[in-house]
Amino acid sequence: MAIPVTMADILHSVPAEDKLGFGTIFTDHMFVMDYEAEKGWHSPRIVPYEKFGVYPSNMTLHYGQAIFEGIKAFRTEDDRIVVFRVNDYLNRFNQSADHLCIPRIDVREVKQGLFQLLEIEKKWVPSKLGTALYIRPFIIATDPYVGVKVSDTYRLFIILSPVGAYYAAGFNPVSIKVEDKYVRATPGGLGEAKTPANYAMSLRAQVEAKKEGYTQVLWLDAIHRKYIEEVGTMNILFKINGEIITPALNGSILSGITRRTVLEVARDWGVKATERQISIEEVYEAHDKGTLEEVFGSGTAAVISPVGELSWKGKKITINNNQTGETAHKLFDYITGLQYGKQEDKFGWVETVTKL
Ligand X SMILES: *Cc1c(COP(=O)(O)O)cnc(C)c1O
- Determine the Cα angle at 197 with ends 31 and 72, to 5°: 40
User: Rounded to the nearest 5 degrees, what angle is found at the Cα of 206, between the Cα atoms of 146 and 139?
Assistant: 40
Smallest distance from the beta carbon of 246 to ligand X, in angstroms? Answer: 11
Specify the residue, 143 or 229, whose C-beta has the smaller distance to ligand X.
229
Exactly one of 80, 194, 239, 287 binds ligand X (CB under 6 A); that residue is: 194
The answer to whether residues 205 and 182 touch, using CB atoms and an 8 Å cutoff, is yes
CA distance 168 to 149: 45
In the complex, least distance from residue 203 CB atom to ligand X, rounded to whole angstroms: 13
Of the two residues 300 and 324, which places its CB atom closer to ligand X in the complex? 300
Per CB under 6 A, the list member of 175, 258, 305, 336 interacting with ligand X is 258
Cβ proximity to ligand X: between 28 and 230 the closer is 230
- Only one of the segments 115-123, 205-213, 228-236, 286-294 lies at the binding site for ligand X (rule: CB under 6 A); that segment is 228-236
Among 83, 220, 234, 328, binds ligand X (CB under 6 A): 234
Q: Strands, E, within 184-277: which ranges?
A: 216-218, 235-240, 243-246, 273-275
Q: Least separation, in Å, of the C-beta of 259 and ligand X?
A: 6
- Name the segment binding ligand X (CB under 6 A); options: 10-18, 137-145, 297-305, 317-325: 297-305
Query: Quick one: which of 33, 133, 141, 254 contacts ligand X (CB under 6 A)?
Result: 254
Spatial CB neighbours of 258, under 8 Å, sequence gap ≥ 6? 234, 235, 298, 299, 300, 303, 304, 335
Strand, coil or helix: 241: coil
Burial of residue 292 (CB within 10 Å: 0-12, 13-18, 19+) is buried
User: Taking contact as CB under 6 A, which single stretch among the options 59-67, 252-260, 279-287, 334-342 is the one that binds ligand X?
Assistant: 252-260
Binding residue for ligand X, selected from 162, 299, 306, 341, defined by CB under 6 A: 299
Where does the chain show beta strands of DSSP type E?
29-36, 40-48, 66-68, 71-75, 80-84, 132-141, 153-163, 174-178, 216-218, 235-240, 243-246, 273-275, 292-299, 303-312, 315-318, 350-355
Which of 28, 143, 230, 294 touches ligand X by CB under 6 A? 230
What is the 8-class DSSP label of residue 58? B
Nearest approach, Cβ of residue 301 and ligand X (Å): 7
Residue 46 or 83: which CB sits closer to ligand X? 83
Q: Which of 27, 300, 305, 320 binds ligand X (CB under 6 A)?
A: 300
Q: How far apart are CA 290 and CA 292, in angstroms?
A: 6
CB atoms within 10 A of CB 236: 29
Give the residue with the Cβ less far from ligand X, 44 or 297: 297
Does residue 233 interact with ligand X by CB under 6 A? yes
Q: Among 302, 13, 1, 18, which residue's Cα sits nearest to residue 173?
A: 302
Q: Judged by CB, which is closer to ligand X: 162, or 232?
A: 232
Nearer to ligand X, 263 or 310 (CB): 263
Residue 235 contacts ligand X per CB under 6 A: yes
Nearest-angstrom CA–CA distance, 346 and 338: 9
Residue 18: count of CB within 10 angstroms of its CB: 11
Q: How many C-beta atoms surround the C-beta of residue 2 within 10 A?
A: 7
221 near ligand X, rule: CB under 6 A: no
Task: State in angstroms the smallest separation of the CB of 312 from ligand X.
Answer: 20
Residues forming the site for ligand X (CB under 6 A): 70, 194, 198, 230, 232-235, 254, 256-259, 298-300
